[in-house]
A and B are shown apart, each in its own frame.
Chain A
Amino acid sequence: MKTSDTLLLLFIVILVGFSLWAITPLDGDRFGRRGLTLGLDLKGGAYLVYEADLSKMDPSQTVDQVMTSVLSKIERRANAFGVKEPIIQRQGENRILVQLPGEKNVDEAKKLIGQVALLEFKETTSDISGQPQTDDKGEVIWTIATGIGSDGLTKELTGKYLKPNSRVDLKPNTNEPEVAFEWNDEGAILFEQITKRNINKPLGIFLDGQAISAPTVRAVIKSAGIIEGMDMKEAQNLAIQLNSGSLDVPLTVIQEQTVDATLGSDSIKKSIVAGAIGLLLVALFMILYYRMAGVIATLALIIYGIILTAVFKLVPVTLTMAGIAAAVVSIGMAVDANILIFERTKEELRAGRTLGAAVDAGFNRAWLAIRDSNVTTFIACIVLFWFGDTFGAFLVKGFALTLFIGVALSMFTAITVSRLFLSITAKVVKNTWLYGVKA
């Protein structure tokens, strides 16, 4: 055996050994990776695209500042809600992609994350009889409560003056939930003035323009307070939102995809079965048609499968249903390179070359076709990956990435594993019938 072949064989053995070590057991800890990383459609969860209404933004800030602020607030909310490993990304100018893997309570999470959650305090003006003034329909007229800040300017009292330590308490007597909050220094200055002039009058607490409660002020309060009138969930969500701060601009959901976890695990089981059957059929066909060479192709295919799984686990590549489809399609493409080589080898054998020469010539001649056909597939993958964000969501990107890795790896196994094994076998097994040609 040539030295270069010996080295190549050694390299393949090490690579396969390493890959096997990396994937057995599949959920074993290797370089901090455990198991395969599954996409939303396989483990369940939600994929949401929010659009920010930039016409409502503070004109003194840049779009980037506003979006960065919104993103970090959303992240804090998602983490506080208990989502494991949320993915939050800005998309284009004014869109935010939020992925909540494994989240079961999607509707609640969606509301919590996307709500502006602007907390405002409003006061009433009294009429002659001391009752709050009402409009024509008899509804109380609320005006935003303001105070003079430490710098002498008039300021509206909103949630932005809260310390980020709001929490849910239970009222001692009734066990009803309430949100306890604390003002920062500036908020305390404003709150003191507002409570002072509203003693024995109602003070309205509004979230995004909706009244939560309107307690009557009993004493001058400076630094802290409570908000009542919600159920437990609402109180918990409000505390999270107050601590993250209100969003700078309103958001709307423009795209949503939610998958139940049970559907995901069904899909995994099914695609494993489908993949195994597909692989078996291909192996059977290859061995029946190409005999000895088919056995080598099957071996190359198994090695391909082992390395592919290791790459998926270690990179890690997020596997989606479309990605699994791509992996199975790439089995076909992996075999294609082998078929090209074998067909060429057969031709060379028929042309009367010796086995060793035929294998070498077969590989060399097939190389151009292998290269051209794989490069065109790469081009399709790159374009799909590029555009994946803009259509079909994670499906398209997952497909493109997996197919790219699959095809690249299949090219590698074809030009190393198949070729090497074929030339080694050619030295040992000389019967040309075994290579698909009449002896």
Chain B
Amino acid sequence: MPEENVDVLIIGSGHSGGMAAKILTEKGISCLMLNAGPIVDVKKDTEMKPAYSLPFRGFKEPGKLPHVFQSNEFNANTWVDEQEVPYTYDPQKPYNWVRVRLFGGRSLFWSRQSFRLSDYEFKGKSHDGYGDDWPISLADLAPYYSRVEAIFRVKGRPEGLPQYPDGNFVLDDSPWSGCMQRFVDAGKKAGVPVCKARSSEGVGGLASSVNLLLPDAFATGKLKAIPNVVVREIRADKNTGLASEVFFVDRLSRREMSVKARVIVLAAGTLESTRLLLNSKIGNSSGVMGHYLIDQIYGAGIVCSVPEARDGKATPGLMGGNALIPRFRNIDSKAKNFIRGYALNVYSSTGPMDPRNFAAYGEELQQKLESYHGSAFGAGIMGEVLARYENHVSIDKNVVDAWGIPALHISTKYTDNEFNMARDAVDTAVSLAEAAGFEVLSKNYDPNPPGYSIHELGTCRMGDDPKTSVLNKWCQSHDMKNLFVVDGSSFVSAGWQNPTMSILALAMRSSEYLAEQMHKGNV
């Protein structure tokens, strides 16, 4: 017999699964965590190597990971292999599904940008009439954001802008570098707020589930974790109608197993959680499961040079640093050809210039690279993608993964609202950079394919009405009270914000609610 009963089974070990495990175990609830991939041992699994010693000289292995633009020959083995876990799409609607199955998931490799959603996101429909409001507001989530920000040590500066809600920060009171100050001043003249960026400092350089959340959970003695098991199905009990048993396969041995649990918490990442629910045929009485897939627009932006920093004249006082322009469109005024808005990530660098910024070759290019070294300044979009019913995922019955589990078919595309927004972002960045006296070298108006941001959200959206939403405001299934989905699937809208802080705060809130309900005997 199993040595003890599983109170809560958590599927996934990233930010959301880690948070669920921490909260639940600290409240005395025993948890079992399943993760589809192995535990990383950085000492054993990595080595410093020169590019020339790799089989493809640092080029991506041909034909490998074509949808993971972030991959290269150094890190190729950290991503989910697209042949091992395939997905499909219509060739007219490409989608980049970027996945990590190592223990800790994508919390191992994220870019640390740490933002709160504002009521321009939670209550977007009330503001402009589009889409749906969330069943919660910033006030509901704010206390949880504060606690998450403390754990992740979010560095930032209060700005007092309603669309860029302040938080519980490690104060960033560093001065702007010279070039950033010029950009801030240009923004002020144009009515565009240029603010301090916000990012998780973490501990020891890492801000991951594996060092900030899971150790607390393991320390309670209440968490067990099994790596290398791929869940194929959640089955409901015929008598109670509740989720009761999870079936999984050992990734390496192919041995089939199952485990029963009182409560099941899905934290496998938006699209894997939804794929599992769709394959299990549960929790979808509303019919909206898989719909309203959203992400964020990335890829459009500009690269400039700060003339005063050229020819060896760059100093740390002039160059370096980051800034963030939070959404400023459609707050007090109305943009002419799109709704909602975008943020711009702004950076400057003291390093080498990318040669692609010069239409030159040979000796001429070398001279440019030397002259422009240390003068780089750039800005890139993070834009809101509208939630639409027709952007959806479903099960592709004709394709299975390495363990015979039916694959996901993804059907989503951007529309004029996204393209117009990207165009406005680039034009705005160009005009601010030129006003600051920078030379614009390159610009790109075309967003990367959907999915590239690795911010896939929605597909099990939350709401008060069980007919139009999959989860309630506690990330709890409307259909099965002992089924929770605590990753990004519950999002009603995406905003422009990197979603990590919001996923963590929602997972924390949802897990505390679950613990309370379990103690009351309601679940």
Same complex origin of A and B: no
B residues near A (Cβ < 8 Å) are none
